[in-house]
Amino acid sequence: MRNVLLIAFASILMLPVFAQENTEKKVNEDVKTGWTVGVLPALGYDSNLGLLYGAIVNSFDFGDGSRYPDFNHNLYLQLSAYTKGSMDAIAYFDSYTLIPNKHFIGRLSFNRNRTYPFYGFNGTQTVYNADFEDIDANGFISQVFYKYDRKLAKADFLLEDRIADSKFKWIAGLDLGWYDVSTVDVAHLNKGRDNDELIPDTLILYDQLVNWGIISDDEKDGGFDNSFKFGLVYDTRDRLTNPMKGTWTELLFRASPKFIGNNDNFGRVSLIHRQYFTLVKEKLSFAYRLWYEGTFGNVPFYSRQHLTTSNYLEGFGGAQSVRGVLMNRVVGQHSAIGNFELRWKFYRFNAIGQNFYLGMNLFADAGKILKGYDIDLANVPQAQRDQFFSDEYKGLYTAFGAGFKVVMNENFVVSADYGMAMDKNYGTSGLYVLVGYLF
């Protein structure tokens, strides 16, 4: 198979780490105390990258149970790798009690992706043609035409605190990132490949954009993207994970001045509004998210897909934004998306001393580029301009789908969503098996 096939082994292994399980502060059998640990193994295969192997560990500390179903601490660890050298290492810590009366998030990560998805800029202004990557198609160019090789090391820290006794909070943080970019190492990926499946040594989209000057020489190899983060949050949710009512709205800015290592001064802004409605108490809810994302100044090409959120996300399209649309398919200067979900908790049970429920969701996702990046096509020959570019990028892109959830102790969520794009210019479909709800 030429596209990523994710085989998620969605089992939950509970480890007996309940330091305060039997204290007098426990209110009833449904209230959890102390630490619980969930483990999610992952297996997969990609014809370019080889076999995927690894695991995710997600631990929650409920303390004395007084905050349940909310938690005191959330520790997320991920280590996964492909046999041909790509890998992910993530350590994420989310705490509401480490610093008294403040919310702290810290994230350290390293990603090496030998076939990182890259579809140019401004959505459909850069043409997506699946035949370019299909070895059996007449228009075939390369199995990795819409890819490049990327290493990314990041360190993100965020602090949040309530303003007086209101529902408003301030946010301040620091994002540090180093990107190392190059064309795909075809010789490495061809090791062990049959002759009729060899990846040709030819120019891919990234190479072409460099040659035409659309990607500048001082950015083509990567560089820093460091920024200060600050913003304002309004939060009335009744719980942290899968709320049944309330709103969560945040206005967030990222300032990236030259004096902290960037090539130029630039910035980003996002306004994200989420709202939750109970339709049937503790069973059925409706949730939606509206999101505006904008950039200002000369944002380097290698980090234009970095979205402005409390947590690190990449690209409109894919598991965390518009499900069914290709990851990073939509990279514009100003963009907007909307996500709309019906969420149903259809079965609750108790096993191995823990609280579980099974859930399903139906969703509709949509997005639009409001303003594209300025792309200078002056150096692009007319034949290639007709082949790889179009004049249109402002159309609405949509996707629809459904999902299944296995949830332990209201917070550890194994989620499987399947989305279908309604326009082949943005992809066809995607299956996403992750930890957590979309929002």
Share above pLDDT 70 across residues of the chain, in percent, rounded to a whole number: 93
pLDDT reading at 306 higher than 50: yes
pLDDT tens across 44-99, in order?
A: 777 677 788 999 999 999 999 999 999 999 999 999 999 988 999 999 999 999 99
Rounded to an integer, the average pLDDT of 319-343 is: 95
| Secondary structure percentages of the chain, helix, strand, coil, to 5 | 10, 50, 40
The answer to the question of residue 16 being in a domain is no
Whole domain around residue 198: which residue ranges? 65-435
Alpha carbons 241 and 92: distance in angstroms, whole number = 16
The answer to the question of residue 199 being in a domain is yes
The answer to the question of residue 10 being in a domain is no
- Report which of 118, 123, 21 is spatially closest to residue 368, judged by C-alpha positions: 123
Share above pLDDT 90 across residues of the chain, in percent, rounded to a whole number: 82
Using DSSP, state whether 175 is helix, strand or coil.
strand
- Indicate left, alpha or beta for 183 from its phi (over 0: left) and psi (-120 to 50: alpha): beta
Q: Taking CA 267 as the corner, what is the angle to CA 262 and CA 268, rounded to the nearest 5 degrees?
A: 130
Alpha carbons 411 and 437: distance in angstroms, whole number = 9
The answer to the question of residue 319 being in a domain is yes
The answer to the question of residue 42 being in a domain is no
The answer to the question of residue 135 being in a domain is yes
The answer to the question of residue 25 being in a domain is no
For the ranges 38-47, 156-165, 330-339, 389-398, the lowest mean pLDDT is seen at 38-47
pLDDT of residue 43: 78
pLDDT tens across 201-212, in order?
A: 999 999 999 999
Using DSSP, state whether 187 is helix, strand or coil.
helix
Strands 102-117, 147-162: parallel, antiparallel or unpaired by DSSP?
A: antiparallel
Rounded to an integer, the average pLDDT of 306-324 is: 88
Alpha carbons 129 and 335: distance in angstroms, whole number = 22
Check which CATH number belongs to the domain holding 151 and give it.
Answer: 2.40.160.50
Alpha carbons 30 and 273: distance in angstroms, whole number = 31
| Number of domains present in the structure of the chain | 1
What's at 71, amino acid-wise?
F
The answer to the question of residue 410 being in a domain is yes
pLDDT of residue 26: 39
Residue in the block written with tokens 């709309």: 340
Helix locations, 164-292, DSSP H: 186-189, 205-211
pTM (two decimals): 0.88
